[in-house]
Amino acid sequence: MTARFGLSAVVACLILGLAGAAQAAKDDLVIGITQFPSTFHPSIDAMAAKSYVLAMTRRPFTTFDAHWKLVCLLCTELPAIENGLAKPERTPDGKRGIAVTYTIRPDAFWGDGVPVTTKDVLFTWEVGRNPKSGLTNIELYRSLYKVDAADDKTFTLHFDKLSFDYAAINDFDLLPAHVEKAPFANPAEYRHRTAFDTDTLNEGLYLGPYVIAEVKAGSHVVLEPNPRWWGPKPHFRRIVARVIENTAALEANLLSGSIDMIAGELGLTLDQALALEKRQGGRFAFLYKPSLVYEHVDLNLDNPILADKRVRHALIHALDREAISKQLFAGRQPVAHTSVNPLDEVYADDVPRYPYDPKRAVQLLAEAGWDRTRNGIRSNAKGEPLTLEIITTAGNRTRELVQQVLQSQWRQVGIDVRIRNQPARVMFGQSVTQRQFPGMAMYAWMSSPENVPRTTLHSAHIPSPANGYSGQNYPGFRDAEMDDLIDRIEVELDFEKRKALWRRLQEIYVEELPAIPLFFRADAFVLPRWLKGVEPTGHQYPTTLWVENWHPG
Amino acid sequence: MARFLLHRLWQSLLVLAVMSFVIYGLMGLMPGDPIDLMISSNPNVTSEDAARLRSLYGLDKPIVERYGNWLQAALSGDLGYSRAYARPVPEVLAPALVNTLWLLGSTLVLSILIALPVGILAAARPYSRLDYTVNLLAFAGISVPVFWLGLLLIMVFAVMLGVLPAGGTGAIGDAGWWERLRYLILPVATLTLASVGGHTRYVRSAMIEVLRQDYIRMARAKGVGRNRVLFRHALRNALIPVVTVLALDFGFLFSGALVTETIFAYPGMGKMIFDAIMGNDFNLALVALLFATLLTLAGNLLADLAYAWLDPRISYR
């Protein structure tokens, strides 16, 4: 009896002790994310996890806000031709260019107290222009051929092309010259020596509301307030981004209180969040934001069956995308009618749409010569069955689920669709990028507001052995008018005129249908009910860019 | 013995050299490269960017040339940089290795500590109620999928009871040893429950086999006590096949446990090797796999030496 009592007491103490240790303070916020940043350098390797964490520690000159409007964060005023801060000019070799002037916020300091100046701007430009520095996306630096510093805070960027988005320098990620100059002494080694990875806790690398205080590779990143931050004082004395790659484990960690919230940008899939909301809706707040992640099915136009526009139209008429959205995603994931999101200013809502109309699909297939039916599968005069293959990323549960519904709906109009899914690295490493998918490929594009689809729709960007498989026009879409529209949209400064061009672009997209639009993916944010101020953006610039507004309610 | 050891060392080096080429070649044969993955969802990365990055990372060179360059650098002590972690490979490898050693080392020790007595007990009374119960539990442990067991333990101890953390390797900052230990309890329990059944079965069947031998019958006939027969006469011989299994587990110790590490967000070798292969992180995957190979070879060598200790009739030339 005594022994049993003793044992029970020990177990009870152990449980209470363990439970006590598991309590978390409320001025700490633990965020669950599914990926660990491969580097902390803002311009090397584009990665959602890195953007998410760094957005709490850094501020870009410009970015898109939650309403998809371009705003200044590190600059004092957005340059425009109207306010005289942007001036069209000719480049030395006679091309149409533009000079854009920005002023750095006078109260902007790096975390170690060094003021942010035009020296940092000039250094960042030098790094960006150097092909050996290992930066991932240097499109901006290719076009930026000169930088003039008027004083410590004012500088002018000279671009060798005049495009409508001249004021957006979102990808100009400022580097601290006083910290990074030494590692950049040998540009070819810069990517290995950058202080962002060799001295990540150096406060001089950061200029946002938080600095990185602890990093445990593969496990977590700890952020603490930046004493030199110029904006509103952030509420949390510590934010932890904890990495849990398995979404079932992520959910269990949320329920156990090990994490406070799950990031929308890098967390649960929509169906998982909806299921969690049904079970635990009372405990957490759920925010759903349709994003610029465009889920679609690329059609290989070299396939003789898909080369026929009537078959492409039949494919989309056979799909009840609204019902799929309602049944699988509780209507939270809006149906895409073109590649342009309805929340985008250039979206044209009067462009024709394809309603669910299986009868029309059957009629179109018959017109295209697929007028015989054997065992429920259509065939042509030669007796060839109407069979197509579809690939998507194996293991992506949501896509595989949607894919099965698509297969079943196509089967109802006599189209035999075979699923041949592949791991992401095979699909994006070869099948899609080298256009080796015989029929259809289902995946997503991530973009920003008013993103011109040059690499995905211009005929000069069709990957082929001749161009070393460069470009991302994977369907192999060729349309002279589309090429012309893309060229014109990029340089049209008048918004109304540009909007008309965008409208025509969407008309062609819908008529020619190089891809079947499915949905705009919705990000699911699972937040504690006490947390206020989180405003999902729905684009590639994460919610954490405004982390100083997060606070307990 | 020295000649035997030298011979095994030479064999091991040869295996490592062949393995390095095979692993490098197989990874090179996989479709795509890191740059393809980098641009797969980002239409803003231009073809010029992709070509520039391929050249910068040396991915535009033939695989044999890349392997040659790697080998030359490795022999001079430079194991290269991990592309996925942007740090030298040993710096990435070391913490993952330590984590894995804690996780799988504890599992192996616990599993042996449980399997040995339970297996011996079951073998001592074959086909008894105890034996059937042990077998039932052992098969249950072997059959239950690790991911399911892991999630179940998380739900019970982290979500329902709230007494243990659901995942990770430790609290933030400099936590004490107890705090760190708490994070090990659930993953170690999961792996131990999954592996102890197999080990118990090995011990049991090896013991039953030995207990049928004539010399055991002779010892019993001479009136030697039950425990002395079991532990002095039978166990030592029964351990030879068990040691073989443990030697194989020794290599597994360092290659990690992918599923468990993923479920418990535990940054160990298994997850790291998997990510390195899927992300085409050549240097990291290669060194990690070679390290696992080396330790498997070392484990087998230790097993060979243990055979001689367990059975003096075995000698090496």
Q: What whole-number percentage of chain A has pLDDT above 70? A: 95
A4 pLDDT band (50/70/90 cuts)?
Answer: very low
Most confident of A463-467, A509-513, B31-35: A509-513
Determine whether the interchain pair A456/B43 forms a contact, defined as Cβ–Cβ distance below 8 Å: yes
List CB contacts (< 8 A) between B154 and chain A.
Answer: 249, 252-253, 256
Give me the half-sphere count of Cα atoms (radius 13 Å) on the Cβ side of residue A389: 12
Q: Is the pLDDT of residue A334 over 50?
A: yes
pLDDT at B29 over 90: no
* pLDDT tier for residue B40 given thresholds of 50, 70 and 90: low
Residue type present at position B31? P
Q: A132 to chain B: nearest residue by CA?
A: B56
Interface test with A, best of B41, B103, B262 (most A CBs within 10 A): B41
A444 touching chain B per CB within 8 A? yes
CB spacing of B44 vs A39 below 8 angstroms: no
Q: Rounded distance, CA A374 to CA A278, Å?
A: 44
Contact call for A461 and B47, based on CB within 8 A = yes
pLDDT, averaged across chain A: 90
- Chosen for mutation from A18, A240, A283 (greatest number of chain B CBs closer than 10 Å) is A18
Say if the Cβ atoms of A443 and B43 lie within 8 Å. Answer: no
Collect all residues of chain B within an 8 Å Cβ-Cβ radius of residue A194.
Answer: 86
Of the two residues A53 and B177, the one the predictor is more confident about is A53
Q: How many helices (H) and strands (E) does chain A have?
A: 17, 20
B51 and A468 within 8 Å at the Cβ level: the answer is yes
Q: Which amino acid is at B30?
A: M
**Interface touch A22/B165, C-beta < 8 Å:** yes
pLDDT bin (cut points 50, 70, 90) of residue A491 is very high
Summarised one tens digit per residue, pLDDT across range A416-452 is 999 999 888 788 878 888 899 999 999 998 888 999 9
Please say if the pLDDT value at position B198 is more than 70. Answer: yes
What pLDDT is recorded for position B42? 60
Q: What is the pLDDT of residues A69-79, one digit of tens each?
A: 999 999 999 99
> Are A22 and B86 inside 8 Å of each other by CB?
no
Q: How far apart, in Å, are the Cα atoms of A512 and each of A23, A26, A119, A447? A: 58, 54, 49, 22
Shortest Cα distance from B74 to chain A (angstroms)? 17
- Report CA-CA distances (Å) from B155 to A93, A248, A306, B165, B261: 67, 10, 49, 11, 17
B86 to A38: CB separation less than 8 angstroms, yes or no: yes
For an interface test with A, give the residue of B27, B40, B53 to mutate (most A CBs within 10 A): B40
Query: B282 — contact with chain A (CB < 8 Å)?
Result: no
Return the amino acid letter for B296: T
Q: How far is B268 from chain A (nearest CA, A)?
A: 9
Least reliable range by pLDDT among A160-169, A369-378, A465-474? A465-474
Interface residue A431 vs chain B (CB under 8 A) = yes
Cβ contact (<8 Å) for B179 and A21?
A: yes
B chain contacts of residue A191, beta-carbon cutoff 8 Å: 56, 86
B264 closest CB neighbour out of A142, A238, A249: A249
Q: Using DSSP, state whether A86 is helix, strand or coil.
A: strand
Name the more confident of A462 and B180: A462
Residue B265, pLDDT above cutoff 90: no
Indicate the range of A125-129, A351-355, B56-60, B183-187 predicted with least confidence.
B56-60
Residue ranges of domains in chain B: 2-88, 90-310
DSSP string across A448-505: -TT---HHHH-GGG---GGGTT-SS-TT----HHHHHHHHHHHH---HHHHHHHHHHH
* Confidence class for position B177, pLDDT limits 50, 70, 90: confident
Q: What is the pLDDT of residue A97?
A: 95
B155 interaction partners in chain A (CB closer than 8 Å) = 252
Which pLDDT score is estimated for A17?
Answer: 44
For residue B138, the model assigns a pLDDT of 92
What does DSSP assign to residue B230?
I
Residue B37: the pLDDT is 65
- For B38, the closest of A136, A256, A467 (CB atoms) is A136
pTM for this structure?
A: 0.82
Asked if pLDDT for residue A476 goes beyond 50, the answer is yes
Lowest mean pLDDT, pick from A183-187, A234-238, A438-442, B246-250:
B246-250
Note which residues in 226-265 of chain B have CB less than 8 A from chain A.
262-265
pLDDT at residue A1 greater than cutoff 60: no
How would residue B256 be classed by pLDDT, with cut points 50, 70 and 90?
Answer: low
Residue carrying structure tokens 């006083």:
A178
pLDDT digits (tens, 9 = 90+) for A495-551: 999 999 999 999 999 999 999 999 999 999 999 999 999 999 988 899 999 999 999
| Position B258 confidence tier, pLDDT thresholds 50, 70, 90 | confident
Report pLDDT for B45: 67
For chain B, positions 74-133, list CB contacts with chain A under 8 A.
Answer: 81, 83-88, 92, 95-96
CA separation, residue B291 to residues A134, B17, B64 (Å)? 29, 12, 21
CA atoms within 13 A on the CB side of A79: 27
Where residue A24 falls among pLDDT bands split at 50, 70, 90? very low
Instruction: Name residue A176's amino acid.
Output: P
Residue range B218-235: mean pLDDT, rounded: 87
The C-alpha atoms of residue A146 and residue B260 are separated, in whole angstroms, by 53
CA A418, CA A396: separation in Å to the nearest integer?
17
Q: Do B159 and A45 touch (CB under 8 A)?
A: no
Chain B residues whose beta carbon lies within 8 Å of the beta carbon of residue A219? 168-170, 265, 267
CATH domain B90-310 topology: MetI-like fold (1.10.3720)
